[in-house]
Amino acid sequence: MAEQTASNKPVVATISLAGCFGCHMSLLDIDDRIVQFIDLFELNKSPVNDIKKFTKRAHVGLVEGGCCNDENVKVLRYFRENCDVLVSVGACAGNGGLPALRNKMPLQECLVEAYLDAPTAELGKAIIPYDEELPKLLDRVYPCHEVVKIDYYMPGCPPSAEVFWDTLTSVIKGQGFDLPVELIKYD
């Protein structure tokens, strides 16, 4: 891992790609341990604190969501370049999650259903949105490990606050992590 920052705290960064933001909400569910989090870690480049660009290299990066468009791929590759350790967080990052349901049909068929044949589409006036400013949709939704190297996987939809806490504290200590079955058992 990289040297710790001048504040002597490990730097943690987070991003959200094609997902629902539930994993970030679960991170915030650590409740009063948020005070410990602030004491132990420096949060950099995260929607949680609205820092949009890296101001320093991160020791640990947490990525939520998969890749459904070219912008997601670009953001994920840049994120990987700026994090020593990258953790795939939740089902969307790990296997595409709910967004990957569109992988069962061709992209064009998905677009026609959503924009032209939808009950809310105005007959004769409906169009499939296209603009150079819009990210180009990929042929399918890709889990993060199919785009960049992932060091650890945090299971769940979303992972519980306990899983977040145990993972962050273990990875920062350089221990990796071996989650107890109680934290990843979903029946």
Q: Is residue 144 in some structural domain?
A: yes
The boundaries of the domain holding residue 43 are: 11-101+138-184
pLDDT of residue 123: 81
Q: What is the pLDDT of residues 91-114, one digit of tens each?
A: 999 999 999 999 999 999 999 998
Q: Is residue 116 in some structural domain?
A: no
Q: Is the pLDDT of residue 4 over 70?
A: no
Split at pLDDT 50, 70, 90, the class of 186 is low
Q: What is the C-alpha to C-alpha distance for residues 151 and 87, in angstroms, rounded to an integer?
A: 6
pLDDT of residue 84: 95
pLDDT of residue 180: 67
Higher pLDDT pick, 121 / 89:
89
Region 70-88: what's the mean pLDDT? 96
Q: What is the pLDDT of residues 17-26, one digit of tens each?
A: 999 999 999 9
Q: Is residue 175 in some structural domain?
A: yes
Give the global pTM: 0.88
Q: Is the pLDDT of residue 42 over 60?
A: yes
Q: What is the C-alpha to C-alpha distance for residues 166 and 158, in angstroms, rounded to an integer?
A: 15
Cα dihedral 24, 29, 32, 33 sign:
negative
pLDDT of residue 5: 47
The answer to whether the beta carbons of residues 84 and 1 sit under 8 Å apart is yes
Q: Is residue 4 in some structural domain?
A: no
In angstroms, what CA-CA distances link 174 with 59, 79, 85? 10, 20, 10
Q: Is the pLDDT of residue 2 over 60?
A: no
CATH number at residue 177: 3.40.50.700
Higher pLDDT pick, 31 / 83:
83
Q: Is residue 124 in some structural domain?
A: no
Higher pLDDT pick, 119 / 3:
119
Q: Is the pLDDT of residue 57 over 90?
A: yes
The answer to whether the beta carbons of residues 128 and 145 sit under 8 Å apart is no
Buried b (16+ CB within 10 A) or exposed e, 98-123: ebbebeeeeeeebbbeeeeeeeeeee
Q: Is residue 65 in some structural domain?
A: yes
pLDDT of residue 62: 96
How many domains, the chain?
1
Region 78-85: what's the mean pLDDT? 96
pLDDT of residue 25: 92
* Length of the chain (residues): 187
Q: Is residue 2 in some structural domain?
A: no
Q: Is residue 166 in some structural domain?
A: yes
Peptide bond into 99 cis (omega under 30): no
Q: Is the pLDDT of residue 184 over 70?
A: no
Radius of gyration of the chain (CA): 18
The mean-pLDDT minimum among 4-13, 19-28, 65-74, 142-151 falls in: 4-13
**Residue 155: CB atoms within 10 Å:** 19
